[in-house]
Amino acid sequence: MNQRERIYNYMKEHGSITSLECSDKLRITKLTTRLSEMRREGIRIASKEVRSKDGSYNVYWLEEE
């Protein structure tokens, strides 16, 4: 299974993914690169920035088909 498939499956199972989750759970450090590749393949992925007192991060999820 390649990295894109692992990320896709994680989002399907957990509903979303962040860079930290991707790195910690899947040991993949290039989440945004893989998401760009997935988008070019036609997979619809949404995102939003989440701000907290410690900073901000992006959350990504699969859009409904």
Distances, alpha carbon 23 to alpha carbons 8, 26, 48, in Å: 14, 6, 19
Exposure of 13 in the CB half-sphere (CA atoms within 13 A): 7
Query: What is residue 64's predicted lDDT score, i.e. its pLDDT?
Result: 79
What percent of the chain lies above the pLDDT cut of 90?
92
Q: What is the pTM for the complete model shown?
A: 0.91
- For 8-18, the pLDDT digits (tens) are 999 999 999 99
Q: Over range 46-53, report the average pLDDT.
A: 96
HEC sequence for 22-44: HHHHHCCCCHHHHHHHHHHCCCC
65 pLDDT higher than 80: no
Q: Which of the four pLDDT bands, split at 50, 70 and 90, describes residue 41?
A: very high
Kindly report the CATH class assigned to 3-62: mainly alpha
